[in-house]
Amino acid sequence: MRRLTALLMALAVLVAPAGAEIDLSSPAPQATPAPVELSGSALLDAPPFALDCAAALLLEPQSGQIIFEMNADSPRAVASVIKVMTILLALEAVDAGRVALSDMVTVSEDAAGMGGSQVLLDIGEAQTFDVLLKSAIVGSANDAAVAIAEALYGSEALCVERMNERAAQLGMADTHFVNCTGLPAEGQHTTARDVARMAAEMFSHPLYFEYAHIWLDEVDHGDGRVTQLTNTNRLIRLYDGCDGGKTGSTDEAGYCIAATAERGGMRLIAIVLGAPSGTERFDLAAEMFDYGFANYRLYPVAQRGTRVRGGLPVTDGDAGSVAVQLDADLTLLILKGSEQGIQLAPNLPESIAAPVAAGERVGSVDVVVDGKTVAQIPVAAAESVAATGLRQSLKKFWGHWAAVP
């Protein structure tokens, strides 16, 4: 009772003027830099040339910007392009140490019995995980893909469960996997946008490119048999800068490819689904690459730590203002020569109340291109500002009162 009376008396002395804010909270901890959020809209309203396929998308993965798309959210079969997710899980397992490339894998009856493209594995044959991964990436081997699935998860069914979980984590809302090979299966479908998402993730693994550039290789089965591997992605040889991709074709899916190429430090990903022939899918992907490399470039718009302006006014603090700075890097994909069309518009409050913690988010900067906001860069306090006056007195009193036995 004595403590409560003391508290009420103190509050009567320290009561704030009407409308004033009283904040007894502790200074906010330093925040983790927030990611820059880019607009998900394609840079072009429509493809700049005719695309003789069911769906297509051209993506620059560093910025995450889509140059153009066509029927990108239409669910459809994509044949062996499904293996992008199987390969991604294998790459992630190697990176995580769950499996080593040197690990031996014994081929099961289910794996050896896969139809379609194969590396001709036998039941009971032992191969390294390295050979199986190479066979799936280079030769699109269904038997190797199932052997990988079983090595990682115990069965293809359990691998498919993980494939769907990983798809959800990547935001692939219009995808459902039924197998790990892409062989025709009821209910299995994805979209050009979702293929781009998982392909970008696969292409982010350096290990992938150690296999993807291989044009010809062979698999020694250890019993005198040798199977020749030929890369199913002809763009590896035909397109300057192409260093990876996954093909697929069935009567249902048509001819598909998720390909990537890099020139001048910029990488592009081209998705072509449902082309009428294998040659046309390669030609379309090459034409998409040509357009992207000819017309666009990466432009460093902002660097984390850059000061936004002189300072943001602070109320009830031991300093009248606080320096603020960009809290993220931003690189945009832009039309070559359009740098002058980029504007940075601060979106900050008139003032901020103390206490302010270094790293605390205080606003943002809008990135405007041709009158359209395409991104927001978080802005954070560059230093701490302590509270003074009424705020500080209340905090000190509260701490002292709470400590009274």
Give catalytic status of residue 140 as yes or no. Answer: yes
Distances (CA, A) of 59 to 24, 122, 222, 250, 274: 48, 40, 42, 25, 18
Candidate list 108, 117, 135, 140, residue with the active-site label? 140
Q: Is the dihedral of CA 91, 93, 94, 100 positive or negative?
A: negative
Q: Which residue has the tokens 């498919």?
A: 160
- Taking the C-alpha atoms of residue 206 and residue 210, their distance in angstroms, rounded to an integer, is 7
| Catalytic annotation, residues | 80, 83, 140
